Structures are given as C-alpha cells and as structure tokens.
Structure 1
C-alpha cells in the first residue's frame, strides 16, 4: 500500500480550505529544551577574508553554542601548516609550536554574542584521515590545546571553553577516518586523559556518528563497549542526521529514541544525547528551493522540542563556504551574494520564538504544520511553520535505506545507511490559513501590539514585519487570523501597551 492518499492527482492530500485552529494556553508554562546551537564559521579573519560576518544573524537568532569543526581549528595527525599543531617534530611544550590565531579570533567572535563554543578535536579532513602516529604525543598536544582554550595558556581567550568533542563522522566510509576502529578508540582514550589532566570537570564526548541507525557498528556499540570497559568519561554521545533520504522532520524523533535506548542499554543513562549537526539536505547533489529548506528548518526546530535530544546544532548557519573542501555547502543560509533568504530568516524567527517559557499549544500536526509558543517577559510569541514534503518523498520506498554517491575530486564514494520507517503522516494536509486562539493572557481588556513576520510573501513583502494593534478580551483571550503559504514560516509577537 502506498503511504499517501491516492485521491489527488499528485498523490498528496487535497488542500484543506478551512483555517486550522491553533490554541495557545498562555497560562500553561514549561521550559524549552536548550537546542539553539549552530555549526558554522563566524566571519572573516586574517587569511580567510571571504567569510561573511554571521554574528549579527546569530545574535538575532539567540544562538547559545557553536560547534567549531568547520573552522580551521583542526588538529591534523600529520604535518600541515594550517593545523593547530603544524609540525609534529616541534617542541610540544613550546607555545610557538601552535597555530592559534584564526581560531582564537573565531572563539572571541562567538563569545562576543554571549554564546559558548563546543570545540571539536578532529584531523584535517578531507586532506588527511589517518590516525595519530604516537598517541602519547598526540595526547600531550591535545592537553596544551585544551589548556589554551580553558585556562589561558599561551595567551588563550579570556572566556574558557568548557565543552570538548572528539571525532567527526568516523563511520563515513573512507572519507573521515582512514584507520581501524581500535585506533580511533585509542585516540579517544588519549583525548580523554588529556582533558582530565587539564580539568576533570570539563565536558567531553563524541564520536559524531554519520550513520547512527547502523546497528552492531564499530563506532556505535563498539565505541560504547570500549568506553565502558576502560572507564572513560562520555558526558555526551554525538551524532549527525540529515533527511536527504526521507525529507521527514520527524526523523529526529525516531533516531534519538533509538540512540537513547542504546545508551541506556549500555549503562550510559547519564550521558546526554547531542545532535551535533542537523539540516534538511547534506549530499552535494541534493537540492531544494530556499523556501522549502527554511520551512523545514523551522518545523524541525519545533518538533525537536518533543524529542529526547539534549543539545542540537543546526548545520550550517553560515554562507556554506568551506575552507577545507573548496566548494559551497548546500546546507548554508543566505543567497550566493550573502543576502538573507528564507533559510536565514527561518533561523532568526525560530531562534527568537523558542526562548523564554514554553506555552502549551494544540492544533499542529505531524505533517509539517508545526506550531510553538513562548513567553519572554512581557512578550508572547507564536511560531508556525508550514512545511510541505515534496511528492518524491511520498512515493512508497522499496526499503528503508538510502544510498548515495559523494564526489571527492575524481573519486566517487558510494555510501548507504538505514532510515527510519516511512510515515504516512508526512503528506501535508494542505493547510493554507490558521486562526490562532491565545487564551489566559495576563493582559485582560488591554490593547496589545501585534507584530507579524514571515519568511515569504504571506505578508505584504518577504521578510517584512507588519505591526498593528488588537484588543484582549476581558477573559484574557485574543484571536488572530493568518495566511500560511506553503513552505513558509510565520511569527506573531504580542506585547502589551
């Protein structure tokens, strides 16, 4: 049986002409999950002037933590002039042997917007994927890097970094780690021992798995067994997920539940689950309009709130320019000339909305019409995303597996991984408008300012805010009608006058 309704010509459900009723209870408050991290390059720095300054957008989006992996801050395992430790024959204890300048500038840029850094220790992929030649020396170098960023050694940043991650997609075929799993495990041991020597209260984790649903795998069960048997710390287990193979924003719920059960079975009940990178598409040959990507971003940000994920990083919240691969990553935000587009606006609107105290909402669905509300001081915000999965994602799959090819120079790497089961509920209900019914506001009988902002043309102009006034009833209720174009994000903000 097909997972979609065959009653319409395209196979998708017919549009629903009636407004969707979204009910917000401003008197029912809980806490938002802290999931507003990003991965990306903060801005231009000496030697890398081509990167645009992302800190204004990140500040507007309320970014709380930034993963450093795509910076130049990689600790290569072979001699490399751009590595944090360029020459492995140099004196490990000499500050002059290290290459901190560009990374220091980016750390300071992140700290300038009051966000933290999650510092990732990994080699200079794609130019080198080899394991360390000497893990004792490797560990001593890691120790000095951590002392620099956590204790100010060799003129390190004034604000310490507290979170350190080891590895990046070691399971991604031959693309990210060219050694045996046992060599990766040994490097993780050296990493943990190095961080402990600096400060045993620092947060450590890894290994940033690319294919987290592959069972009985060396970098999943095998890694956890090694960590347990050697009594190593694992404050968080990190993984990536992109939806090239499904286009389903609820993949993250399924994958995180599977991993949470895995960790618990292995005795890691206190280990956090970190989605270290997420986005709609990651394979370079995948494509979609910016509006579709933006709607997916916002819908996913809302759905993530109801998962078991403890920390999440949207990738990538920058222009997509990459200092290592030499191409523009399709996961970036903004246009080719670095102007805002639906993706950057979705990032800002979701970040603005999913803060403060979370308010109870009913009326959304699991087909892309997602809604969240929050209260921050004297402002109430309601965020609605109307993501519509493409028809190609609604065709019944032959199997829950995704195969793809990645071009690296002249090389073509064939890869594949397990997907969550296909959901019938992914097909959009075709909602084109909504009535937002906000109840139990603390401003009974008062006039409020209403600001409406959208990522698309659902208001008078793209990205334009409309400001009006409305009256709250004596019972503390207000109703607002909004148009919801397909592939759009809509934010309503209410503030008492």
Structure 2
C-alpha cells in the first residue's frame, strides 16, 4: 500500500514538474505562490457594460490611390467611433475643409464649388464597418514650414456656413448627398499648438462660437464640441474656452482633449486634471472625449532618430501593453469615449499600421480589448497598479457560459502573478484558453487546460511589455 502511494506521489510530482516547465498559467499547487502579487476576479459581481473607449482616428482606406483597404483588420477590433482627423496621411484630399471647398472665395451656396466625392468614399468605408463618425471640421496638422492651411479663415461666418453645408451634404442630402445622421462635429484640432493653429487664442474662441451656433441653428440635435487641445483642459486655452462658452452661451455638447505619455500614471492623472477642470466650470452633463491618445516613449519633433527609435516602441510590445492598461483604467473615469491615434500609417510609424498598411502589435491590443467588449458585462476585479501599468479587466456572458480576463504588465518588475477566479456560475467543467501578446507573439494561443472548480487560482507569467487574454468557456 505504501509502495503504491509512493508511486502515485512520484507520478503526480513528475507531471507537476513537467507542467511547470511547459506552461505559463497553471493551477496554484504550492505555498511558494503566497508572496506573488495577486489579481482577483469575482464573476458574481457585475458592473454593467463597457464604455466605447476603443475608437480610433482614421478609417480603413489607405493612400496610394486607394490601393489598400484595411476593413478586414478593422473588423477584428470593432471600433465604435472613428474620428476624421489627419486623414491626408491615409487618403489625401479628404475631410479637410480646403480639400472639400478648395476656393474660399467661391460661392459657398453653390454645390458646384464643393469636392465631396473622395470624402464620401472615405466615410462610407467607415459606416460599412458599423462605426460612428466623429467629423473634425478644420485642417490636418502641418509639422513643416511653411504652413499652408492651418491659418484662421479669412471670414469666420463664411467658414461656419461652409461647415453647415458639409453637415447638410452628409445628413440632409444636399448636393447629391446622404442621410447618414453623423452626430459628432468637432471644431478644429489642437488650436493650442503652432502646428495646427497660427491664430490667436481669441480667434479660436470666436471661430468656435460662430461655428457652434451656426450648426446648432441648422439642427439642434447635432453634437458640437471642442477645443480638442493637445494639452490639459486646465491649461490657459482650456480654461479660456470653458469660460468663453459659459459667457457667450456657446453650444458645447462634448469637450475633447488629447494625451500622449510614456507613463500610465501620468496618463491617468492628466485625465483626472482635465475632467476636474471641465466640471469646475459647471459643465456637469457634457460628454467628455479623449479624442487622441497613445503611448509615446520619447518625442523630438521632426528628429529622424526619434521617429525610428522612440515612436517605434508605440507599435511594439511596450505600446501594446500600455494600450491595454489605460483602456482598462479609463473604464473607471468620467470619459464617455476615446479615440486611439492612429489607425493609419504615417511618416512617424505611429499606431496600428506602418506606412504601408501592415498591422503592428498595437492592433492586437485593441483586438484583445474588443473580445472583452463582445461578452458585454463587466465584472469586478482587483489588482491594478497604475504606477507601473499593471492592469486587469474581466467580462462575462452568462447566457453563453463564457468569461474573459485581460491582464497587462507595462513596466512592473514583477513577472509572475496569482490570478484568482471566484464564483464562476457554471456547474460543468471549463476550458481555459490563454493567449499572449508580447515581443514574440501576436495574441497567439499559448495553452489550453480544463478546470473543474467553481473557485480556482492560476499562476500567470506576465513580464514587462506582456498582455495575456484568458477565455473561459463552459463545456
């Protein structure tokens, strides 16, 4: 009898040893795991749905005469909103006011003076995905000299009327147009930096007021917003904008601003600062949009080296881990929506695709997040460490017998974690499929195992710049 017990113990030990060698997420078997940092998921505590924070800047059509269409890639991450800004990087002669109405001295009431066709095609490719459009009224950024189009319009009232005609074309059928019911209209982009606005602060405030009032007079149900700042809303222009809207009773349905950072902690603190500034001025019910955001490890303007080295990290594993972390954290902020910059390739190799339209690591970060959203119901989690970009978020679809957990480590020194799952409401066994996104994997299946307990723990390898997606499905 003792011999049989010894043999059984030896076999069990051998299998456990082999499992530890071959797997990255195993059932906890030893007291050695007691000191590991811990994630906890409680499937019984639901927290409602997910906010539409996985929007992007830029649609699926790529430049070079529309030779490339990335619609199939876009479907993998399901953006709820797509913002139209800097579209010249992906499809020239679209969206910017000077491309739609090239001769500012022409009659703005004559359809013959508008060039809508390329923008029509561009927007249709977005709507075909099921995404909503956020139309930025203005011009794309101009990094170089001289500047051509980012100057204040010669006539603010006429510019506002041109914007009104654009709205009429896409929502009211004007000029052989459409009835697409585009709701969100954003006035200009980053008027707080010289690359986007050569005018004064007062000129922007005046342009916003005139344009917003013109559009709301056309249709009170439109959502008009700004100021789309490059910096925080507690900045000089941010404060001035909020005060001006209050003083002049300028329509303001949503406030938008941008954040680029190399730190998840800095990123989230800046959201808190900007949102607090908005509420301080009495805008309690306006929507808040983070209309551009991304991870930037370094930025040296037009430096070729920064483009090659610093911004390359944005599309590599560090950028993917950062993206998952802040998407998880942002669920618990006052943000109503957010749009990652960008979903097109640019000269800075900045975002989901390179300049040739080839997908990079960051697209798989959005894909992993989209899988969480698809299940529909967020559940309680703990274990976030904002200072170093450690994050966890979980979702469930009880009717389908599915639960998913998404974890990320941006830059924490800990490389192994204990993941505890509580109150799984399925009586039968569960299949756990684990996917990894890191330097060597693109959300690839790493391992599968069968679990049979209502409450269980897994040991997860999660070094820096790593994302893991665990899908649990009732058998």
Quickly name the TM-score band, shorter chain normalised: 0.7 to 0.9
The alignment status of 1:155 with 2:133, answered yes or no, reads: no
Matches within 5 A, 1:8-157: 19-31=36-48, 32-44=50-62, 48-49=65-66, 52-72=68-88, 73-76=94-97, 80=98, 83-126=99-142, 127-157=148-178
Q: Distance in 1 between matches of 2:393 and 2:438?
A: 19
> Residue 472 of structure 2 corresponds to which residue in structure 1?
494
Matched length: 417
Q: CA deviation at 1:58?
A: 2.4
- 230, 233, 251: which one pairs with 1:233? 251
The alignment status of 1:471 with 2:454, answered yes or no, reads: no
Given that 2:233 and 2:239 are in contact with CA atoms closer than 8 Å, whether structure 1 keeps it comes out as: no
Given that 2:86 and 2:141 are in contact with CA atoms closer than 8 Å, whether structure 1 keeps it comes out as: no
> Residue 342 of structure 1 corresponds to which residue in structure 2?
361
Cα shift readout 1:442-461 (whole Å, capped 9, x = no counterpart): 212x1223222111268xx5
Q: CA deviation at 1:359?
A: 0.8
The alignment status of 1:387 with 2:410, answered yes or no, reads: yes
> Residue 432 of structure 1 corresponds to which residue in structure 2?
415
Given that 1:19 and 1:432 are in contact with CA atoms closer than 8 Å, whether structure 2 keeps it comes out as: no
Q: Secondary structure at the match of 1:340?
A: coil
Given that 1:34 and 1:310 are in contact with CA atoms closer than 8 Å, whether structure 2 keeps it comes out as: yes
Q: Distance in 1 between matches of 2:312 and 2:150?
A: 31
Q: CA RMSD in A?
A: 2.3
Matches within 5 A, 1:389-468: 428=412, 430-444=413-427, 446-456=428-438, 462-466=442-446, 468=448
Q: CA deviation at 1:353?
A: 2.0
Matches within 5 A, 1:246-265: 247-265=262-280
The alignment status of 1:299 with 2:325, answered yes or no, reads: yes
Q: CA deviation at 1:136?
A: 2.2
Matches within 5 A, 1:354-393: 354-355=373-374, 356-366=376-386, 367-376=388-397, 377-378=399-400, 379-388=402-411
> Residue 193 of structure 1 corresponds to which residue in structure 2?
213
- 474, 477, 485: which one pairs with 2:463? 485
Q: CA deviation at 1:30?
A: 0.9
TM-score between both structures, scaled by the size of structure 2: 0.82
Give the gaps of 5 or more residues in structure 1: 1-15, 322-327, 389-427
Q: CA deviation at 1:75?
A: 4.1
Q: Distance in 2 between matches of 1:103 and 1:336?
A: 20
Matches within 5 A, 1:178-327: 178-212=198-232, 215=235, 217=236, 219-243=237-261, 247-281=262-296, 283=299, 284=301, 285=306, 286-287=310-311, 289=313, 290-319=316-345, 321=346
Q: Distance in 1 between matches of 2:268 and 2:465?
A: 21
> Residue 407 of structure 1 corresponds to which residue in structure 2?
none
C-alpha change, 1:257 and 1:364, in structure 2 (3 Å) is: closer
When Rg is computed on C-alpha atoms for both structures, the one with the higher figure is: 2
Q: Secondary structure at the match of 1:464?
A: strand
Q: CA deviation at 1:361?
A: 0.8
> Residue 393 of structure 1 corresponds to which residue in structure 2?
none
Given that 1:381 and 1:491 are in contact with CA atoms closer than 8 Å, whether structure 2 keeps it comes out as: yes
Cα shift readout 1:177-209 (whole Å, capped 9, x = no counterpart): 111222212211221122113210111100111
Q: Distance in 1 between matches of 2:137 and 2:395?
A: 36
Q: CA deviation at 1:41?
A: 3.5
TM-score between both structures, scaled by the size of structure 1: 0.78
C-alpha change, 1:253 and 1:368, in structure 2 (3 Å) is: closer
C-alpha change, 1:485 and 1:169, in structure 2 (3 Å) is: same
Q: CA deviation at 1:335?
A: 4.8
